[in-house]
A and B are shown apart, each in its own frame.
Chain A
Amino acid sequence: MESQRKNYGKALVELGRTRKDVVVLDADLSGSTRTAEFGKTFPDRFFNCGIAEQNMMGTAAGLAVGGMTVFASTFAVFATGRAYDQVRQSIAYPDLDVKIVASHAGITVGGDGASHQTMEDIALMNAIPNMTVIVPADGPETYRAVLAVAEARGPAYIRMGRSDVPIITSKDDVFSIGKASTLREGNDVALVGVGQMVAPCLLAAEGLKAKGINARVINLSTIKPLDVETLEKAARDCGCVVTAEEHNIVSGVGTMVAAALAERYPTPMERVAMQDVFGQSGESDELMREYGLSEKEVIAAAIKVTERRK
Chain B
Amino acid sequence: MNHDAYDDNYIRSILNNVKSIAMVGASPVNVRPSYFAFKYLAQRGYDMIPVNPGHVGKALMGKPFVASLADIDRPIDMIDIFRNSSHIMPVVEEALKLSPLPKVIWMQLGARDDAAAEKAESAGLKVVMNRCPKIEYGRLSSEISWMGVNSRTLSSKRAPIPTQGMRLSLNRTSFGGGQTAASDRAAKNKTETT
Q: Do A and B come from one complex?
A: no
**Residues of A bordering B, CB below 8 Å:** none
Q: Which chain B residues have a beta carbon within 8 Å of chain A's beta carbons?
A: none
